[in-house]
């Protein structure tokens, strides 16, 4: 799908030939003398339209307007969140009506957040999964014009929004693939393809190399599967070589059966989404590769299946992690932390400014925060604040959770340095405390996306979260890195 940004007032928008035109109508809407203004003003006056987000009114070939259909969409105060709701409703109402060419009109002084939300919501709502359908009927939308009063002011924000939307979609597509397609090997191939397309450095290690390095914990999880593990290392260099990178670590369990501590069969299919963290790292590289900001970025993806087998790791088995710490695996279903801990130790070699791991880690996080906010854990307050702000701005929010040492009590083992599970209470925090033992050498944050990476039920499917959050955070890291002065013309927010 092509997105373009254009300067158009309402009279200009009325002259745009397209299959559908969405006009966002805010509470502050000031009608002009053009046909679109008249339509919206009359609809408001007749109470057939309200400026409330989610309220819609469709018109077919209205007089004086070139578009075949017009959708008037209330957008409240016109801020990002309301615009997102409005565009979601409007584009949703046009699904399966054959609209190929769409204009979305943001009248008045649209904010950067509104433009970002319009792009994100259009891409999200029009996405159609077809990869494993025999008669693929894909997305109808082909070209989307975002019309604003002053396109010049929005160019940077618009390009970022478009790249982020592409990254989200890339992550969704990978996330939605079933486990017999999205194998660790396939993830490795996708990483290589990304690297080729964007000039990134990419290395993909296999079982022998990973065992040789000493990743005994990661190796233990993978050993019950016929699918060979992969450890993916991606590097993007947009700043001078010596500048410390941000490292993203994504959990890439392509199927989590639980292993010997096997899961109940109800909804087990959803454990194909257990590579959502990995998908979000790849999606983020997709966006960063397009935008080429002045930062250095490393992506690490430990990927394997968690399966029961005669060769599987068993409850009570003790393994040696790359850090040297021994781990008693009391529950083979707490496998995410076992593959992440070795990747977190591996991250030390990059002398990172920050390491952020992203993982569908605990059912307990779903209980705590539901599907609205991802769980955020951080050892560094600045990093935590930046991620919280990025999440809110990108409408991909997270919420900070505690890391008190008392939560680590339950991880004590009589036979190893640490156990991989504690009690059920505070499960999301217990898991984070386990990871923290391996992340002591740099500022660290952990995003538990178990509740946000996919939707269940009728709308079952990957969301692509938290690509939006990560891209926004990373773009904000330009200039902030190692005190380099701001680029000329770049706007910096006061701290």
What's the full length of the chain, in residues?
A: 495
The reply on whether position 173 binds Zn ion by CB under 5 A is no
Least distance to ligand BES, CB of residue 364, Å: 6
Least distance to Zn ion, CB of residue 339, Å: 9
- Binding partner of 342, given Mn ion, ligand BES, Zn ion, none, CB within 5-8 angstroms per partner class: none
Least distance to Zn ion, CB of residue 416, Å: 21
* 6 tagged catalytic: no
Least distance to Mn ion, CB of residue 301, Å: 17
**In terms of Cα–Cα distance, which of 339, 371, 368, 380 is closest to 427?**
368
Q: Which residues of 119-132 are buried (b: 16+ CB within 10 A; e: fewer)?
A: bbbbbbbbbebeee
**In terms of Cα–Cα distance, which of 340, 344, 328 is closest to 275?**
340
Least distance to ligand BES, CB of residue 30, Å: 47
Q: Please give the residues from 4 up to 63 whose contact with Zn ion meets the rule CB under 5 A.
A: none
Nearest residue to ligand BES, by Cβ distance, number only:
363
Q: How far apart, in whole angstroms, are the C-alpha atoms of residue 189 and residue 232?
A: 10
By three-state DSSP, how is residue 337 classified?
Answer: helix
Q: Can you tell me which of 167, 289, 336, 427 binds Zn ion, judged by CB under 5 A?
A: 336
- CA torsion 290→463→469→284, rounded to 10°? -30
- Give the gyration radius of the chain's Cα atoms: 24
In the complex with ligand BES, which residue's Cβ is closer, 115 or 435? Answer: 435
In the complex with Mn ion, which residue's Cβ is closer, 256 or 448? Answer: 256
Q: How far apart, in whole angstroms, are the C-alpha atoms of residue 287 and residue 171?
A: 11
What values do phi and psi take at 235, rounded to 5? Answer: -135, 130
Largest CA distance in the chain: 79
In the complex with Mn ion, which residue's Cβ is closer, 113 or 335? Answer: 335
Set 162, 186, 337, 353: catalytic member: 337
- Binding partner of 450, given Zn ion, ligand BES, Mn ion, none, CB within 5-8 angstroms per partner class: ligand BES
The half-sphere exposure of 170 on its side-chain side, counting CA atoms within 13 A, is 27
DSSP state of 298: E
Helix or strand (DSSP H, E) at 219? helix 216-222
Tokens (6 digits) for 403: 């890391």
Give the residues across from 456 on adjacent strands. Answer: none
In the complex with Mn ion, which residue's Cβ is closer, 343 or 394? Answer: 343
- Binding partner of 344, given ligand BES, Zn ion, Mn ion, none, CB within 5-8 angstroms per partner class: none
Where on the chain is the footprint of ligand BES (CB under 6 A)? 256, 274, 331, 333-336, 360-364, 366, 421, 427, 450
Least distance to ligand BES, CB of residue 378, Å: 20
**In terms of Cα–Cα distance, which of 1, 145, 147, 24 is closest to 75?**
24
**In terms of Cα–Cα distance, which of 412, 421, 434, 211 is closest to 332?**
421
In the complex with ligand BES, which residue's Cβ is closer, 169 or 335? Answer: 335
- Binding partner of 427, given Mn ion, Zn ion, ligand BES, none, CB within 5-8 angstroms per partner class: ligand BES
CB atoms within 10 A of CB 297: 25
The reply on whether position 274 binds Zn ion by CB under 5 A is yes
In the complex with ligand BES, which residue's Cβ is closer, 274 or 328? Answer: 274
The reply on whether position 342 binds Zn ion by CB under 5 A is no
In the complex with ligand BES, which residue's Cβ is closer, 48 or 267? Answer: 267
What values do phi and psi take at 287, rounded to 5? Answer: -70, -45
Least distance to ligand BES, CB of residue 256, Å: 5
Set 15, 100, 263, 400: catalytic member: 263
Q: Which residues of 57-85 are buried (b: 16+ CB within 10 A; e: fewer)?
A: bbbeebeebebbbbbbbbbbebebbbbbb
- Binding partner of 421, given Zn ion, ligand BES, Mn ion, none, CB within 5-8 angstroms per partner class: ligand BES
Where on the chain is the footprint of Mn ion (CB under 5 A)? 256, 333, 335
In the complex with ligand BES, which residue's Cβ is closer, 209 or 269? Answer: 269
* 263 tagged catalytic: yes
- Binding partner of 364, given Mn ion, ligand BES, Zn ion, none, CB within 5-8 angstroms per partner class: ligand BES
Q: Give residues with Cβ within 8 angstroms of 275, minimum separation 6.
A: 174, 175, 182, 187, 250, 251, 252, 253, 254, 303, 360
Least distance to ligand BES, CB of residue 430, Å: 7
Q: Can you tell me which of 19, 113, 169, 256 binds Zn ion, judged by CB under 5 A?
A: 256
Nearest residue to Mn ion, by Cβ distance, number only:
333
| Residues binding Zn ion (CB under 5 A) | 253, 256, 274, 336
* Catalytic annotation, residues: 263, 337
């Amino acid at each position: 799908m092509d997105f373009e940004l254009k300067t158009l007032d309402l009279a200009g928008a009325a002259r745009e030939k397209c299959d559908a035109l969405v006009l966002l109508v805010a509470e502050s809407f000031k009608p002009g003398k053009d046909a679109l203004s008249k339509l919206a003003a009359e609809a408001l006056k007749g109470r057939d339209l309200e400026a409330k987000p989610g309220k819609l009114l469709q018109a077919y070939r209205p007089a004086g307007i070139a578009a075949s259909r017009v959708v008037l969409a209330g957008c409240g105060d016109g801020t990002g969140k309301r615009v997102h709701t409005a565009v979601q409703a409007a584009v949703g109402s046009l699904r399966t009506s054959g609209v190929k060419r769409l204009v979305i009109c943001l009248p008045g002084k649209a904010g950067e957040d509104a433009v970002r939300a319009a792009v994100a919501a259009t891409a999200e709502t029009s996405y159609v999964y077809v990869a494993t359908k025999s008669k693929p009927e894909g997305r109808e939308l082909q070209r989307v014009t975002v019309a604003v009063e002053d396109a010049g002011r929005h160019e940077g924000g618009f390009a970022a929004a478009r790249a982020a939307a592409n990254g989200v979609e890339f992550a969704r597509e990978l996330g939605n693939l079933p486990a017999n397609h999205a194998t660790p090997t396939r993830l490795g191939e996708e990483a290589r393809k990304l690297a080729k397309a964007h000039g990134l450095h990419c290395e993909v290690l296999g079982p022998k190399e990973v065992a040789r390095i000493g990743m005994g914990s990661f190796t233990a999880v993978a050993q019950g599967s016929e699918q060979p593990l992969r450890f993916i290392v991606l590097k993007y260099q947009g700043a001078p070589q010596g500048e410390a990178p941000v490292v993203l670590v994504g959990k890439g369990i392509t199927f989590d059966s639980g292993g010997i501590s096997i899961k109940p069969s109800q909804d087990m299919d959803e454990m194909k989404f257990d590579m959502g963290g990995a998908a979000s790292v790849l999606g983020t590289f997709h966006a960063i590769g397009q935008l080429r900001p002045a930062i250095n970025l490393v992506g690490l993806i430990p990927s394997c299946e968690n399966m029961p087998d005669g060769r599987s790791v068993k409850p009570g088995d003790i393994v040696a992690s790359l850090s040297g710490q021994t781990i008693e695996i009391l529950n083979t279903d707490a496998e995410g932390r076992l593959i992440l801990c070795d990747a977190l130790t591996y991250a030390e070699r990059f002398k990172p400014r920050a390491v952020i791991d992203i993982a569908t880690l605990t059912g307990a996080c779903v209980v705590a925060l539901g599907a609205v906010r991802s769980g955020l854990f951080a050892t560094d307050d600045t990093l935590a604040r930046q991620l919280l702000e990025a999440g809110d701005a990108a409408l991909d929010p997270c919420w900070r959770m505690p890391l008190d040492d008392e939560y680590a009590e339950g991880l004590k083992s009589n036979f190893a340095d640490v156990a991989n599970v504690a009690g059920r209470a505070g499960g999301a925090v217990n898991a984070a405390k386990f990871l923290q033992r391996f992340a002591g050498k740099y500022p660290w944050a952990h995003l538990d996306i178990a509740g946000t990476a996919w939707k269940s039920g009728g709308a079952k499917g990957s969301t692509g979260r938290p690509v939006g959050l990560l891209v926004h955070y990373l773009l904000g890291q330009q200039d902030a890195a190692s005190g380099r002065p701001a680029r000329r013309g770049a706007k910096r927010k006061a701290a």
